[in-house]
Amino acid sequence: MQSTENKADDIYLAPTLGPLTGSMALRKVLDRLSEQAFRYVQLSAAQPGFRPRELSKSARRDLRATLSRRELRVAGLDLWIPPTHFLDSTSVDRAVDAVSDAIELAADLGRCPLSVTLPSVDEEDCEAVVRELAAHARAFGVQLADHTLPPARRSGVGVGIDPAAVLSIGEDPASTVASCSLRLISVRLCDLLRSGARGPAGEPRDGRLNVRIYRRAIATCEFTRPVVVDMRQWSDPWSGLEKTALAWHIAGG
């Protein structure tokens, strides 16, 4: 595999760790990613072993040390709570507590961004909850990346872009990135295949994402954080990661 470092604009790729650990021990996954010149990983605060309640302060330090020994860092955290949980009186407290705990974990892992999906701005009952979460994130020096579609304007909350999700509603990912350029906190790299499934970028016959135009839009926004290779639901994450990294670097050539 080619190096994941982009020498031209210093944008790195950050694979989502969860899909790679299904049949391989964590340390072996990290070793393999390091050998392939990845420098960042994206974690899930809902994945067993990485849930905030499972990681003591010492365990968080150990995790950072384990990554550091392989020259890896945490690009960000994901916490995909269904937006409806913030609107239901029977689940909102648990949802808020989960996001709050994930914010504190993100702070301990290097103040990395936390990606979530909040309810639409049309849901007025949720705005007090959003303000509470934004204030908690600000207190810990963590940025929230809201993946709501269409992208929402909220004080204290930035935007996350998932191209597969954008394509699923008939919109153009590059245009969406450009329209949110000043509010971008997290940008992902993945595709929506002709079958309707999520998949790797760079599939010439099956993919819908124009990687070159998408990458150009990201570069134009002067986005310098790692781009998350989101491998959720991919049938073969390792092979897909290689194809996606190659497509990304060809697009930048």
Q: Is residue 116 part of a domain?
A: yes
CA 174 to chain centre: 17
Q: Which CATH number does the domain housing residue 50 bear?
A: 3.20.20.150
Q: Is residue 110 part of a domain?
A: yes
Determine the straight-line distance between the first and last CA of the chain, rounded to whole angstroms: 16
Q: Is residue 90 part of a domain?
A: yes
In angstroms, the CA 52 to CA 175 distance is: 35
Model's pTM, two decimal places? 0.93
Q: Is residue 213 part of a domain?
A: yes
In angstroms, the CA 87 to CA 81 distance is: 12
Per-residue CA distances from 121 to 46, 149, 216, 251 (Å): 25, 10, 29, 35
Q: Is residue 66 part of a domain?
A: yes
Q: Is residue 1 part of a domain?
A: no
Number of residues assigned to the chain? 253
Of 123, 109, 36, 121, give the one whose Cα is nearest residue 79.
109
Q: Extract the runs of DSSP E, i.e. beta strands, from the chain.
A: 13-15, 40-44, 73-78, 114-116, 144-146, 158-161, 184-189, 191-192, 198-199, 227-229
Task: Tell me the three state secondary structure of residue 246.
Answer: helix
- The token pair that represents 143 in the structure block: 């940025």
Residues spanned by the domain of 163: 13-251
pLDDT digits (tens, 9 = 90+) for 1-16: 334 443 334 689 999 9
In angstroms, the CA 45 to CA 36 distance is: 25
Q: Is residue 153 part of a domain?
A: yes
Low-confidence ranges of the chain (pLDDT < 50): 1-9
Q: Is residue 8 part of a domain?
A: no
Name the domain count of the chain.
1
- What is the structure's pLDDT at 216? 96
- What is the structure's pLDDT at 22? 83
